[in-house]
C-alpha cells in the first residue's frame, strides 16, 4: 500500500454470479452443457418465441437452498419460505424476452456470512442476499460484415447471484472472499466453479473515502472472471478513484469494464443510459414456496456433504490445528481431500507437519505454477511418502525440500529419488563419529578456541561435519557426538 493511500479507506462489496450446475435451464428443458454449436441449446422458451412460458427447475431452487443453509451454519432462518420471481426489463440482444427473470424484493436467501482469511487473519464478510435468476446469452463481436452474432445457448442458465455487504477493504480481502465463496459453492456441489467458462464471475462495487467520512460514490466493475483480474481491477480502480479525488475531481456512479490487456477500467458505453428496470412480479410465475420438509431434506443433505466451515472446525477439534491452518486446508474440497490423504498415510501424530507441507511447500509451488491443487503434479500419496521420510528421520527438512523439488518435477516416488540421489540422512552413529573424528583432527585451532570458551567455534565445527557429510548427517546426532568428544 502506498503512502498516499494511507489517508483513504477502501470499501468493497461483491456481487457474484454462480452458475448452478443443473442439467437443464432454470425455466426451460434445454441443456445447459457448455460449448455446444451456436443456438443448438436455445429452445423455444429460451428464444422467447411468441406464446412460450417459463416453468421453474426444482434443482436450481434446491441448490439455492443448500447455499443458504451453508452460509448460515445449516440454520434455515435465512431462507425465505416465500420468494418471488420478478421481471427486470431492459433491451439487449442477448436478452431475448426483453426482460430477465430475477428476484428483487423477496429473494430466496437473505443474510448469512462467509469467513475469509488474509495475511492479517480471519474476517467475517456478511452476505446481503442470494437470489435466483437466469443468465443471458452471448454477443460475439467477431466481424460478421460489421454486425455482432448472438448465441443464446447460455440464455436461461440458472444463476445464483450472491451479494455481499460492503465489508471488504482491500483487493486482498476481495480475492480472499471470492476464493472462499468459490471453494464453498464447489464444496457443496452447486456450481462447477469453472471461471474460464464463466460459471463463476464477480462484479465488484468499489468506493473510497477519508476515514470518518460517509461512504463515497461507488463504481461497479463488471464481469471479472479470474481472481487475478479481480485483484488487478480493484487495485487499478482504487488508485484511479484516489487520484481523481486528490486532483479535486468527483466520482460519478458508473458501471465499468476491466481490460486485462491494459490493466485499466473503462466506462461501459451501453450502460450510459440511466437505467429504469421497471421490476414487477412475473405474472407467469407464482410465488416460490419452500416447505419445511424440503428445507429439512436439504439440511440433512448439507450435513452429509459438509461445508468448508464444518471441516475446519473438525480439523481444529480433532487435530488441534490452528484456525488459520485449518482455514487454509479447507479452502477447497480438493485441498481438504488432499490433506486427508496425507494425514491418513503419515499418521495423525504428525498432523502439524502434514499441514505445514500442504499449506507451505505445496501451496507455494502450486501458486508459482498457477495451478489448482486438483492439477498438482505431486499427488497426495507422494507428498505423504515424502513426509513419512521426514518423520522417520530419513530426511532432514533441507533434504526433504530437495526431494520435494524433484518429485514436483516428475522424478517419481520420493523413496526412489532419495535412493537415486543418495540423499538418505546419515543417522548411523559410527559413521558420524568417524566424520567428527576427521574434522576434530583437522581443526585443532577451533578445538582449542572452543575449549577456551568460544562457543562460536562449536558451530563452525558442526558446519565442517555437515559439509563433510554433504549435508546428509543427522544434525542432532552431529551435535550430540561432537559435544561428547569435545567434553571428553
Contact (CB, 8 A) for 284 and 99: no
**Site stretch for another protein (CB under 8 A), options 57-65, 375-383, 384-392, 463-471:** 57-65
Q: How far is the CB of 30 from another protein (least distance, A)?
A: 4
Beta-sheet strands, E only, within 212-349: 219-224, 254-259, 264-267, 280-281, 288-289
Displacement of CA 432 from its chain's centroid (Å): 47
Separation of alpha carbons 454 and 446, rounded Å? 9
Of 245-304, binders to another protein (CB under 8 A) are: 257, 268-270, 276, 278-281, 283-289
Among 16, 19, 28, 103, binds another protein (CB under 8 A): 28
Q: How far is the CB of 115 from another protein (least distance, A)?
A: 31
Of 111-150, binders to another protein (CB under 8 A) are: 139-141, 144, 146-150
Grid cell in block for residue 320: 488441534
Among 19, 22, 72, 331, binds another protein (CB under 8 A): 22
Residue 330's closest CA among 298, 307, 346? 307
Give the contact letters, 59-78, x = binds to another protein (CB under 8 A), - = no. Answer: xxx-----------------
Site membership for another protein, residue 478 (CB under 8 A): no
Separation of alpha carbons 337 and 119, rounded Å? 24
How many residues belong to the chain?
Answer: 488
CB nearer another protein, residue 152 or residue 208: 152
Q: How far is the CB of 119 from another protein (least distance, A)?
A: 35
CB nearer another protein, residue 87 or residue 182: 87
CB nearer another protein, residue 40 or residue 375: 40
Site membership for another protein, residue 103 (CB under 8 A): no
Site membership for another protein, residue 35 (CB under 8 A): no
Site membership for another protein, residue 57 (CB under 8 A): yes
Contact (CB, 8 A) for 167 and 191: no
Grid cell in block for residue 487: 567434553
Q: Which residue has the cell 525440500?
A: 401
Q: How far is the CB of 137 from another protein (least distance, A)?
A: 9
Site membership for another protein, residue 50 (CB under 8 A): yes
Site membership for another protein, residue 97 (CB under 8 A): yes
**Other CB atoms within 10 Å distance of the CB of residue 370:** 8
Going by the DSSP 8-state scheme, the letter that residue 5 receives in this structure is: G
Phi, psi of 281 (to 5 degrees): -60, 135
Phi, psi of 370 (to 5 degrees): 65, 35
Of 76-95, binders to another protein (CB under 8 A) are: 82, 85, 87, 89, 91-94
Among 6, 58, 250, 368, binds another protein (CB under 8 A): 58
Contacts of 227 (CB under 8 A, 6+ apart): 175, 178, 179, 195
Task: Give the H/E segment covering residue 281.
Answer: strand 280-281
Contact (CB, 8 A) for 15 and 200: no
Site membership for another protein, residue 151 (CB under 8 A): yes
Q: How far is the CB of 382 from another protein (least distance, A)?
A: 39
Contacts with another protein, residue ranges (CB under 8 A): 22-24, 28-31, 37-44, 47-61, 82, 85, 87, 89, 91-94, 96-99, 139-141, 144, 146-152, 257, 268-270, 276, 278-281, 283-289
Amino acid at each position: 500500500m502506498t503512502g498516499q493511500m494511507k489517508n483513504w479507506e477502501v470499501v468493497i462489496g461483491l456481487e457474484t454470479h454462480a452458475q448452478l450446475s443443473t442439467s437443464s435451464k432454470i425455466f426451460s428443458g434445454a441443456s445447459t452443457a457448455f460449448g455446444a454449436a451456436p443456438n443448438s441449446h436455445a429452445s423455444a422458451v429460451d428464444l422467447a418465441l411468441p406464446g412460450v412460458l417459463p416453468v421453474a427447475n426444482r434443482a436450481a431452487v434446491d441448490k439455492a437452498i443448500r447455499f443458504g443453509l451453508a452460509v448460515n451454519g445449516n440454520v434455515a432462518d435465512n431462507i425465505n419460505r416465500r420468494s418471488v420471481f420478478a421481471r427486470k426489463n431492459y433491451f439487449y440482444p442477448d436478452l431475448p424476452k426483453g426482460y430477465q427473470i430475477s428476484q428483487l424484493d423477496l429473494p430466496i436467501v437473505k443474510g448469512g456470512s462467509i469467513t475469509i482469511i488474509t495475511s492479517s487473519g480471519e474476517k467475517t464478510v456478511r452476505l446481503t442476499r442470494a437470489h435466483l435468476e437466469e443468465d443471458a446469452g452471448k454477443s460475439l463481436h467477431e466481424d460478421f460484415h460489421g454486425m455482432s452474432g448472438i448465441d443464446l445457448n447460455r440464455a436461461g442458465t440458472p444463476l445464483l447471484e450472491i451479494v455481499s455487504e460492503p465489508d471488504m477493504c482491500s483487493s486482498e480481502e476481495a480475492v480472499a472472499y471470492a476464493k472462499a465463496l468459490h471453494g464453498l459453492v464447489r464444496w457443496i456441489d452447486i456450481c462447477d466453479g469453472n471461471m474460464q467458462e464463466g460459471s463463476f464471475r464477480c462484479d465488484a462495487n468499489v468506493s473510497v473515502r477519508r476515514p470518518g467520512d460517509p461512504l463515497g460514490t461507488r463504481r461497479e466493475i463488471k464481469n471479472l472472471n479470474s481472481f487475478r483480474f479481480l485483484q488487478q481491477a480493484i487495485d487499478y480502480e482504487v488508485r484511479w478513484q484516489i487520484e481523481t479525488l486528490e486532483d479535486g475531481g468527483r466520482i460519478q456512479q458508473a458501471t465499468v469494464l476491466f481490460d486485462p490487456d491494459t490493466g485499466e477500467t473503462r466506462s461501459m458505453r451501453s450502460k450510459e443510459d440511466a437505467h429504469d428496470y421497471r421490476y414487477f412480479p412475473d405474472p407467469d410465475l407464482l410465488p416460490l414456496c419452500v416447505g419445511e420438509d424440503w428445507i429439512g431434506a436439504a439440511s440433512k443433505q448439507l450435513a452429509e456433504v459438509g461445508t468448508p466451515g464444518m471441516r475446519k472446525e473438525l480439523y481444529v477439534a480433532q487435530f488441534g490445528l490452528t484456525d488459520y491452518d485449518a482455514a487454509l486446508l479447507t479452502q477447497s474440497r480438493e485441498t481438504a481431500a488432499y490433506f486427508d490423504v496425507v494425514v491418513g498415510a503419515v499418521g495423525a501424530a504428525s498432523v502439524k507437519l502434514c499441514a505445514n507441507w500442504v499449506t507451505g511447500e505445496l501451496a507455494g509451488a502450486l501458486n508459482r505454477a498457477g495451478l489448482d491443487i486438483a492439477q498438482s503434479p505431486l499427488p497426495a500419496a507422494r507428498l505423504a511418502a515424502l513426509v513419512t521420510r521426514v518423520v522417520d528421520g530419513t530426511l532432514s527438512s533441507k533434504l526433504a525440500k530437495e526431494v520435494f523439488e524433484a518429485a514436483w518435477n516428475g522424478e517419481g516416488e520420493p523413496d526412489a529419488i532419495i535412493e537415486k540421489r543418495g540423499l538418505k540422512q546419515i543417522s548411523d552413529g559410527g559413521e558420524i563419529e568417524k566424520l567428527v573424528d576427521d574434522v576434530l583432527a583437522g581443526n585443532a585451532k577451533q578445538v582449542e578456541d572452543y575449549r577456551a570458551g568460544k562457543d562460536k567455534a562449536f558451530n563452525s565445527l558442526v558446519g565442517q561435519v555437515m559439509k563433510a557429510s554433504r549435508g546428509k548427517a543427522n544434525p542432532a546426532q552431529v551435535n550430540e557426538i561432537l559435544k561428547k568428544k569435545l567434553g571428553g
